[in-house]
């Protein structure tokens, strides 16, 4: 199946989960990544059970802290 990962169309096996995709994409600091699927956030607790489908669009986001001086 074809999904879009971080703006790039890629082929993955049917039924791949968000957790497996994070591993296959070798995401740095995976424990801090936030994932969106078709512009909706995926709960971290559901990474192992959320299966991706043909045409899904996945983005990996990292929220950075900071502030003004």
The domains found in the chain, sorted by start residue, are: 2-61 (3.10.20.30)
DSSP structural state of residue 17? B
User: 51 near 16, Cβ under 8 Å?
Assistant: yes
DSSP structural state of residue 4? E
Q: What is residue 67's predicted lDDT score, i.e. its pLDDT?
A: 63
Calpha distance 44→39 (Å, rounded)? 15
pLDDT along the chain (69 residues), means of 10: 97 97 94 96 98 98 74
pTM here is 0.89
């Amino acid at each position: 199946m074809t999904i879009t990962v971080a703006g790039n169309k890629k082929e993955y096996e049917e039924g791949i989960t968000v957790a497996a995709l994070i591993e296959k994409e070798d995401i740095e600091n995976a424990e801090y990544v936030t994932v969106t699927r078709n512009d909706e956030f995926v709960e971290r607790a559901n990474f192992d059970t959320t299966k991706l489908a043909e045409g899904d669009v996945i983005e990996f986001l990292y929220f950075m802290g900071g502030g003004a001086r």
